[in-house]
Structure 1
């Protein structure tokens, strides 16, 4: 056996293997590359540290953005519930289906409101126009307690100045017509058992500046 064959057949001894593991350098034996285990462990620790640093940086970025948005969030105000309409300090709900007058009164009370009571000419104009677009609708007006004496659901009397809103020839009480509706360009009296859309009203939420 010559020197070259003896070199190829030489095996690593225990000290050589220890040196291979702890030296911190790479070796190539018979086409294979070896790297000490502690080098791999160091790389893994470094990767975890970088990941934590990135995560912390992301948290700080989010916190910074929230801090910048906070003044704007504080200024946000929702005076009316979703699907209600704001008009001059009040919220109005226009129903999507029809029911009789008494059930309409109850439906409004259940959401902390009342079947609409009209307090001004502007409010009347707004509601009349909206009802023309959405369909004939109940208002909180009736003469159920005394025929011909119209009261709102809050107990107040119908003002004489509002009598002009009745359609021509109304109210005529044809067939026990004791409840009032928005119809076309004015008001009409109809039987309370008829099913119609309805309009609820409640005060808007105050938006206090901080």
Structure 2
């Protein structure tokens, strides 16, 4: 190297030293990413950028979250409203169907059980087998009824006619508690106005005849141990009004 070249190198070296003296102490160059940029400049710039962006990002995140929650609530409310509407529609449909079927149901309504006959608000069962008077009383009780107690002239006429067709039948009348004093099974006394229904010459108590039966055109007293048909009675059920 000649003298002139050595002088240039020394000049450059002195210039570099002068530039280093111009940069504050502690400052370093970063050769990665930003060539020849001081680190403190990059830190300051990135800090300012983050400071400016963070509230915006946070607000954007909160706004997005609020929107999602609002949409979820709207969907939930919409589903509940739709379910309630479906339930209301279903109830209305069932009500309409029941209203349409009501007349037909009323036609099927039976105030009395099968094998029973209805007459003036009461149900009557005419037995197909025969038993003594006491067993007939028990049989009617098992059917939630009682051996028939006559309350009116119309009822008497109806039962008398039916018994003529089916055969002699027990009624719920006897003088077992006191001879000559006739009581119904419900504890009521035989009314004087009903005495006309005894057949002529009855009751005569010829053979310890303490129980009453339907016979022919009227009533007859007979031994309670004889087996006869029997008639049960209970109130009819009311059907819904049409």
TM category, shorter: 0.5 to 0.7
Separation in 1, partners of 2:227, 2:128: 12
Q: Is 2:134 aligned against 1:102?
A: yes
Where does residue 13 of structure 1 map in the other structure? none
Instruction: Give the TM-score, by structure 2 length.
Output: 0.58
Question: Which of 85, 88, 106 does residue 75 from structure 1 map onto?
Answer: 106
Separation in 2, partners of 1:178, 1:133: 24
Instruction: Give the TM-score, by structure 1 length.
Output: 0.67
Where does residue 134 of structure 1 map in the other structure? 166
Where does residue 118 of structure 2 map in the other structure? 86
Where does residue 209 of structure 1 map in the other structure? 241
Separation in 2, partners of 1:177, 1:81: 33
Structure 1 residue 208: Cα displacement:
2.3
Structure 1 or 2: more helix by fraction: 2
Where does residue 197 of structure 2 map in the other structure? 165
Residues 157-196 of structure 1: per-residue CA shift (max 9 Å, x gap): 0000000000000000011100000000000000000000
Where does residue 32 of structure 1 map in the other structure? none
Structure 2: segments with no counterpart, 5+ residues: 1-92
1:163 is paired with a residue whose SS is helix
1:164 is paired with a residue whose SS is helix
Where does residue 184 of structure 2 map in the other structure? 152
- How many residue pairs were aligned? 147
Where does residue 198 of structure 1 map in the other structure? 230
Structure 1: segments with no counterpart, 5+ residues: 1-62
